[in-house]
Structure 1
Amino acid sequence: MLHVALYEPEIPPNTGNIARLCAATGSRLHLIGRLGFRLHDRALKRAGLDYWPAVDWVHHLHFADFEAAWRHTASPSSWRPPRLWVVETPAPRLYTQAEFADGDCLLFGNESQGLPASLRQRFADSLIGIPMPSGRVRSLNLATAVAIVLYDALRRIHRW
């Protein structure tokens, strides 16, 4: 299993789409900190459709709460402990260069500000990004970015 963590997400349809993606892949969804919507928001439920009962998700009030819970529930099937991959733009290395393993977590920042500098610095050795070859945009939609990295990580772990 992989974990997807969203730090203070702001847009209900993005979170709903990511929840649906997590239901489809069997990934656990972690919502961290202050949310930019209510958990019963119509747009959130509409984007997740009727898949919300199939989503394995938890809301953590603080990053420390998330980190403790994730490390406790992650069950690695490899020789190394699970790793927290910080997906941000810009990043020193591409997500295609990451060595994903079962139990790892993909951490994404919110739509308007990304992750706080303190988290980017703390996890600098696991900071990865999606290439933006045209140079015309600085980032992708959050749900799109999660889908790209999550499916590639699963493909490599399970050798699809």
Structure 2
Amino acid sequence: AGLDYHDMACVRVHADWPAVRAALPDRRWFALTTKGSRNYAAVSFQADDVLLFGPESRGLPPEVLAQFDADHRLRLPMLPGSRSMNLSNAVSVVVFEAWRQNGFAGGA
């Protein structure tokens, strides 16, 4: 799905989950999950926040979610009885809102 955008990406590969957390120690981290109790729209996002999304099929592992308190477990509101949004759409919604709150920094 990267098409011709690969040159705009800065990809870093980490050995494991603890290495990921250690790489960005001074940031606010948010886990997006269907098990979240806080609506993503209730957050005042900051430019250096980290948004963590899990696989579409199963979400974030319980051992990862356990590292986030209720204020840092975010959810997207859904209609009763509906399934969760697919991953690419969920990422788009949350990232765009965070970018909007930060004045579309870097945008044209």
1:61 is aligned to 15
Aligned partner (choices 75, 81, 85) of residue 129 of structure 1: 75
Question: What is the CA distance between 1:136 and its match in structure 2?
Answer: 2.1
Percent identity over the alignment?
Answer: 34
The reply to whether residue 96 of structure 1 matches residue 41 of structure 2 is yes
CA distance in 1, matches of 2:64, 2:77: 21
Unpaired segments ≥5 residues, structure 1? 1-46, 72-80
* SS, match of residue 112 in structure 1: coil
Aligned partner (choices 50, 58, 66) of residue 4 of structure 2: 50
Question: What is the CA distance between 1:124 and its match in structure 2?
Answer: 2.3
CA distance in 1, matches of 2:6, 2:66: 34
Q: CA RMSD, aligned part only?
A: 1.7
Aligned residues: 104
Structure with the higher fraction of residues in helix conformation: 1
Aligned partner (choices 44, 54, 64) of residue 119 of structure 1: 64
2:54 is aligned to 109
Unpaired segments ≥5 residues, structure 2? none
Q: Is the 8 A contact 1:82 1:102 kept in 2?
A: no
CA distance in 2, matches of 1:159, 1:135: 34
Question: What is the CA distance between 1:108 and its match in structure 2?
Answer: 0.5
Question: What is the CA distance between 1:155 and its match in structure 2?
Answer: 0.5
Question: What is the CA distance between 1:106 and its match in structure 2?
Answer: 0.2
Q: Is the 8 A contact 1:84 1:105 kept in 2?
A: yes
- TM-score normalised to the size of structure 1? 0.60
- TM-score normalised to the size of structure 2? 0.86
Q: Which amino acid counterpart does residue 20 of structure 2 have in structure 1?
A: F
1:61-95, Cα deviation, whole Å (9 max, x unpaired): 20111111123xxxxxxxxx520011011311110
CA distance in 2, matches of 1:121, 1:65: 17
Higher relative contact order (CA 8 A, sep 6+): 2
* SS, match of residue 56 in structure 2: coil
